Amino acid sequence: MSKKEKFYEYKKIKSKGALHYLFREDESRNWLHHNADGPAIEPIDSDDKSVQKKYFLFGFEKTKEEFKEYKQSKEGLPWYKNPSMKATARF
């Protein structure tokens, strides 16, 4: 394969007074709300009460608390870089 494969796309659009963060896998035609850094739907104007922040991960709506738990579990060293998780091979 000479062409670099792309497995997903991200897009940010403005619609009805809000920013929408969208994600799509390569095989899918459907866009899903997703933002791992914050709300996937957030109002453009902070004074606008008709649009509220909503959190989505890969199309699944999460509460603010669930999203915070996701962010906390994501931070830190990955398991493969954690010295306590490295197995010592003894032959």
Answer whether residue 49 is part of any domain. Answer: yes
Answer whether residue 61 is part of any domain. Answer: yes
Answer whether residue 19 is part of any domain. Answer: yes
Answer whether residue 3 is part of any domain. Answer: no
Report helix, strand or coil for 14: strand
Answer whether residue 52 is part of any domain. Answer: yes
How many domains is the chain partitioned into structurally? Answer: 1
Per residue in 2-53, pLDDT (tens digit) is 456 678 899 999 998 999 999 998 888 899 999 988 999 999 987 878 899 9
Q: What is the pLDDT of residue 7?
A: 83
Amino acid at 83: P
Answer whether residue 90 is part of any domain. Answer: no
pTM of the model as a whole: 0.70
- Rounded alpha-carbon distances, angstroms, from residue 91 to 85, 88: 19, 10
Within 1-91, where are the H helices?
A: 64-74
Answer whether residue 62 is part of any domain. Answer: yes
> What is the extent of the structural domain holding 71?
8-85
